[in-house]
Structure 1
């Protein structure tokens, strides 16, 4: 048994394990705060749903702006300075949430949170790919997504408790966790001397030339466009689903907390078996199937009347995200060259436009038309992503048949 564990551990670089462990720590504490931000703003500041949507949506909008730049800088100057700087910034930002009192400050801080996160995410994914054999990268990305959801399985329950005891203490805990993460990560990356520029050639690639190279990649374009729609739908989970449940169910906040934890636990349990089964199919086809499951889950949210329908809705959503999100990271890695890997992962951050538009449009529909109409519209929109995945699959077949056979 010990030999099997050692063998499993050795298949990835120690820094990869640090990133996975840090993801559990940091995302767990973040999930104790951000999913409840909409409720906090509604209860404590009595904001209109559209303004709440703007406050939440400003983070992924900033991520769109910063993602490409952060990925490019990590290619040019190395993963190390970009990742350490962004982690330290996130620690300060969450401590800032703790003392914020006005809507303006929440908007500014959440924008900075999105910006710092967008620098870290593409650089972190690129570093995982840098340090992992090609044959094991899909497994690494699946483990990363599992790590996110291990944190997410504990975070919402902690957040629900802290929301009752002291809502602001959740922000403090998250800030401290990110600070611990950056200290450990900085020490380990110094020990193994990794995270430096990929090559001298990478440093010569300007941001303008990177934009031209990435802009010509039609497969990436279709992937990003389809992912924008997927994120448009998925963003409702953190913005309008909690508001809808709070207004339609007597114990809506508790139901929402349990649903988030069920979602995360299910991802941890089902991620590897579903991913193993999905390997039999083309990657874009897997994402199409995921869009169908996500659409059905969104539609079900519009008719939630209690525990059973709520769990059914989150079941469909969970299977959808398991099929979509790790596959998306895997495709970006396959499209990218070694010198522009961070840039490609940064360009993929444009999918966060969906996370910006979703809460605002959803907030308007929730206020003006109600939850059933909102989630019916979202379900139809998510199905529309399949059109882009179909076109993306055609490009893959024409340009690189080996990719789609994986």
Structure 2
């Protein structure tokens, strides 16, 4: 099964250079984020008098800025072209990474804190624009028969970058905090150069779409009145809210309730990353057999059972292994499929705006730590896990409730 799980990676060698370069860019963007973002918190804690809460607020400006900027970036890519927006964001990210390195050298504490805050905001904007535009560009370039595979490869690129980024950052920062910003900046210079050359050589392979070019106000109105899209975003917010507990409240629970809990939690995350690689291909085949919406239901159900299993006995290795298998299988089914659903909803000439609007699903990552922490503090870990299991089960049916009969034939419910 594991060998079969790798079947989709054979398609990598048959993809166009443009698609491959975007997948590499998605990997680099996520890797550089995880190379640097965790160490910003460490740097601020060691070099300023800020409280953990204030450091958290500074770090939190990045994802919040990303959510706010994603739709605008997606809309601009519809108007100005995906290639132009991607080149701009890669160039901007390069400048931001070098600026972070320079900011570590600032002696004045107030200026240092202010500079890091501003750079976190701009970093969030750059990442927030890059991800939906890159996803929309992949959808533009992908042959219809390979779209599912390419969205799975995109998900793999994100996970692989997130997995190795912290390890590289740890190695680099052993020679001084901030050096990872410098190396990430040089990587971006290389990527920008390669991407620019590839886009210039393959400019005729970039598709153009007919259709009215809507104003920003018109684009907002179209998406706001698209119930299928709005219900999908709400469904994704709830699922991300639940899944976010694995990286926010769950490590706190492991630390408080389990002997050597942090060590077991690190094994949990490592196993999760390995399983994504091993199971992704096999579960992709399942989605092709049963259809997108049924896969969404199945994935959410696996997440729910995985969360419920954590209420049994966190000191049991067997329970932890069972839960990570269930939760990982659920996330592999749910997250790439959400992009495929967005692709089916979006008119080709509005893909950027639609994928940008879909970034509002990341509100689940903003709300997750707040409400998860509240439930954990006042009602305990078991209540938290049962609650997110119930929400996970409900979430896909919200998406289904937004579907109209005309749109269902394409989705194979």
Which TM-score bucket, shorter chain as reference? 0.7 to 0.9
Task: Answer yes or no: is the 8 Å Cα contact 1:28–1:152 preserved in 2.
Answer: yes
Alignment correspondent of 1:178: 188
Gaps of 5+ in 2: 1-6
Q: CA deviation at 1:208?
A: 0.8
1:198 and 2:201 matched: no
Q: CA deviation at 1:351?
A: 0.7
Which TM-score applies when normalising by structure 1? 0.83
1:287 and 2:290 matched: no
Question: Match for 2:92 among 69, 89, 92?
Answer: 89
Q: CA deviation at 1:31?
A: 3.0
Residues 40-73 of structure 1 show CA distances to partners (whole Å, capped at 9, x for unaligned) of: 7778778767656544543332222111111110
Alignment correspondent of 1:321: 331
1:353 and 2:363 matched: yes
Task: Answer yes or no: is the 8 Å Cα contact 1:24–1:150 preserved in 2.
Answer: yes
1:130-141 alignment runs, 5 A limit: 130-141=140-151
Distance in 1 (alpha carbons) for counterparts of 2:20 and 2:284? 20
Q: CA deviation at 1:122?
A: 1.5
Alignment correspondent of 1:342: 352
Aligned length: 399
Alignment correspondent of 1:63: 66
Q: CA deviation at 1:32?
A: 3.7
Q: CA deviation at 1:300?
A: 4.9
Distance in 1 (alpha carbons) for counterparts of 2:337 and 2:358? 13
Distance in 2 (alpha carbons) for counterparts of 1:305 and 1:166? 37
1:86-235 alignment runs, 5 A limit: 86-98=89-101, 99=103, 106-159=116-169, 161=171, 166=176, 168-193=178-203, 198-199=208-209, 201=211, 204-235=213-244
3-state SS of 2:135 partner: helix
Distance in 1 (alpha carbons) for counterparts of 2:43 and 2:315? 23
Question: Match for 1:14 among 3, 12, 17?
Answer: 17
Residues 131-181 of structure 1 show CA distances to partners (whole Å, capped at 9, x for unaligned) of: 122121111111111222232333344345557665544444434333332
Distance in 2 (alpha carbons) for counterparts of 1:66 and 1:179? 23
Distance in 2 (alpha carbons) for counterparts of 1:348 and 1:281? 24
Distance in 1 (alpha carbons) for counterparts of 2:247 and 2:171? 18
1:391-406 alignment runs, 5 A limit: 391-392=401-402, 395-396=403-404, 398-405=405-412
Task: Answer yes or no: is the 8 Å Cα contact 2:61–2:117 preserved in 1.
Answer: yes
Which TM-score applies when normalising by structure 2? 0.82
3-state SS of 2:290 partner: coil
Task: Answer yes or no: is the 8 Å Cα contact 2:33–2:165 preserved in 1.
Answer: yes
Alignment correspondent of 1:267: 276
Distance in 2 (alpha carbons) for counterparts of 1:6 and 1:232? 30
Q: CA deviation at 1:383?
A: 3.1
**Structure 1 stretch displaced more, 114-123 or 221-230:** 114-123
Distance in 1 (alpha carbons) for counterparts of 2:406 and 2:271? 40
Alignment correspondent of 2:26: 23
Q: CA deviation at 1:97?
A: 4.5
Cα 1:310–1:261 change in 2 (3 A) is: same
Cα 1:320–1:46 change in 2 (3 A) is: farther
Which of these two proteins has the greater Rg computed from alpha carbons? 2
Task: Answer yes or no: is the 8 Å Cα contact 2:41–2:55 preserved in 1.
Answer: yes
3-state SS of 1:304 partner: coil
3-state SS of 2:330 partner: helix
3-state SS of 2:349 partner: coil
Q: CA deviation at 1:85?
A: 1.6
Cα 1:139–1:264 change in 2 (3 A) is: same
Gaps of 5+ in 1: none
**Structure 1 stretch displaced more, 250-259 or 266-275:** 250-259
3-state SS of 1:362 partner: helix
Cα 1:74–1:267 change in 2 (3 A) is: same
What do you get for the CA RMSD once the two structures are aligned?
3.5
